[in-house]
Chain A
């Protein structure tokens, strides 16, 4: 892992210093595969919504010629040919678009097939803020516009700072549980969502040691007594019916961000250039919630919540 990172740094250094030089563009993708391009690609296919958004955020939306089924932001990409999802990419339709670069998730099943057919593939995946920044830098380097990566990241950070300023002071240090799936899977402190929550001044009940998106024993949440809950609206309406959950301070006192299914939820769960917008949306929701009773002293988290 460390070697891959070192290689990556080296490659990024190369990419940022001499991207458009005669040597062409060189990057190492998240599989550790070195990619060399003589020219910045002009016909790009993106097979991951967050990568589609990244390409557009770097002012290269016009270079996209095709996207995956779930890419729906920004609006212009909805007019592009759709090429299937993670497991069912329409290889023939993709080849017909003659892309000079395909951007996809590392876990994408068709990567090897596409490469065997002579398509240049770069696989990138983000779980944390630093990954998002790295994806920006890599994609910007690929586009031959290395400076735009840092600009885009600076914009995200600026929005996150704005969002943090909007969070009511009464909520600073409040404990939060962010549910990404009703199984229940949480967004832990070590995920991009968790990092955003931390930037907003909240304390995640799921410590970094548990990984980015762990499946929890529901008892863990009841025990941690979060003061804030964030979940998709459909589940949020039913949280109080879960055994033992009705007593949670967040549910008793109505501090739940129920995020509508569809675009609003997608904004929060995509590790892409709208990370800052997501933070602003969360901050707006938090600002509309009732403040916790001022007398509650913030108790330390129970022992099970600390890193094991």
Chain B
């Protein structure tokens, strides 16, 4: 497992081949730095907006009044700060997972929910709610109590990992990409069908499933934030260390293997990393749509680069995208809220459409 460094062409990343060689290396690096700086700036501005946007919407006078009334500690410190930073972290985990998925599968359609994690998490949430509704009837109260203790967050986390594990089992490891993708689709359909059946048992489970699928950043608190931050702090360096493998993969699986990479093992490791990032994100915020798919596209479009930069920038772009969606979701109809998944789908889908219209999807 000590492959030689990938050749310089490979560092260009997917899709970069058309443009990158024409550009001098320094220009590309400058562009990447500019993108990272712009994303960082956007993250700072949005964080400030996130701290200001409350149930009165984005209102300067309401913010001033809160500060004057002494509400600031409770409202901003306890609610808006963790929610804002939480949206940033969940988006970052999804953006990172999306970049890994698109790199591993060498497919711009890949997203974090591909390998059964979404279906697994969704099924687990439905099962926990249905269990509490059916306690004492169809299932033992002890099982229901156990499900209750696990909680929805824990259940979604375990479910997401379980979905990916099942996919890996069906695909007999990560030897073949196509097999892995097909197994992911099958697991998604199967677990989805089981969840559907469970919702027939309890209307509560039906509502919980809907809410989970729309995603929500509304109730993120400091404990959740600590978990998310820890997850990202572990995942990002690991992902960056595997960047050269993803770079090598852009040459094709055969070429990558000829460079001495043990592809099956690397793929397994990357899928595990992808599953952990996704599970952590969806457990806290539900199946937020489109962030994981769009973030890497956004980065590739604005600054084609090798995977080292792509992974880091995708994480940052994912965070910026979800935080922007969150600020919009709570400002547009304040004090009511829009489901954040709807806003990310509109923002992300709109951007992809625009790219498609310009022939820029790569």
Contacts and interface: CB of A to CB of B under 8 A. Distances in A.
B55 A304 contact: yes
Contacts, number: 83
A261 B133 CA distance: 6
B204 A215 contact: no
A222 B132 contact: no
Chain B CB within 10 Å, residue with most, of A217, A222, A238, A304: A217
Interface string A216-243: 1111101100000000101000100111
Interface string A3-44: 000000000000000000000000000000000000000000
Classify the interface of chain B: helix, strand, loop or mixed. Answer: helix
B336 A217 contact: yes
B253 interface: no
Interface string B194-228: 00000010011001100100001011111000000
Interface string A172-210: 000000000111100000000000000000000000001
A75 interface: no
A220 B335 CA distance: 6
Contacts of B56: 303-304
Contact of B337 (A217, A223, A247): A217
Contacts of B132: 234, 261
A219 B75 contact: yes
Interface in B258-306: none
Contact of B207 (A181, A217, A219, A247): A181
Contacts of B200: 69, 85
Contact of A244 (B75, B133, B203, B207): B75
Given A69-B200, A182-B211, A217-B330, A243 B78 contact: yes
B79 interface: yes
Given A216-B336, A217-B55, A243 B221 contact: yes
Contacts of B336: 210-211, 214-217
A220 B55 contact: yes
Interface of B: 54-56, 62, 71, 74-75, 78-80, 82-83, 129, 132-133, 148, 151, 200, 203-204, 207-208, 211, 216, 218-222, 330, 334-339
B12 to A, nearest CB: 44
Given A219-B80, A220-B335, 16 more contacts: A70-B203, A183-B211, A183-B216, A183-B218, A211-B336, A214-B336, A217-B330, A217-B337, A218-B79, A219-B55, A223-B55, A243-B79, A243-B220, A262-B133, A303-B56, A304-B56
A238 B223 CA distance: 14
Contacts of B219: 182, 184, 218, 242-243
A215 B338 CA distance: 7
Contacts of B203: 70
A234 B148 contact: yes
Nearest to B196: A88
Contacts of B83: 243
A81 to B, nearest CB: 16
Contact of B218 (A214, A217, A261): A217
Contacts of B82: 243
Interface residues of A, number: 30
12 contacts: A183-B339, A215-B337, A217-B55, A217-B336, A219-B80, A222-B74, A222-B75, A222-B79, A234-B129, A234-B148, A238-B151, A243-B219
B18 to A, nearest CB: 44
Nearest to A207: B335
Given A215-B339, A220-B335, A244 B79 contact: yes
Contacts of B204: 232, 261
Contacts of A232: 204
A212 B220 CA distance: 26
A261 B71 CA distance: 35
A261 B82 CA distance: 30
Contacts of A215: 336-339
Interface in A143-185: 181-184
Task: Give 7 closest A-B pairs by Cβ, nearest first.
Answer: A243-B221, A220-B55, A244-B78, A220-B335, A217-B55, A219-B55, A244-B79
A238 B78 CA distance: 16
A216 B337 contact: yes
Nearest to B286: A183
B126 to A, nearest CB: 14
Contact of A247 (B62, B74, B330, B338): B74
B73 to A, nearest CB: 10
A242 to B, nearest CB: 5
Nearest to B222: A243
A182 B339 CA distance: 13
Contacts of A181: 207, 211
B133 A216 contact: no
B184 to A, nearest CB: 26
A222 B56 CA distance: 13
A30 B208 CA distance: 28
A199 to B, nearest CB: 25
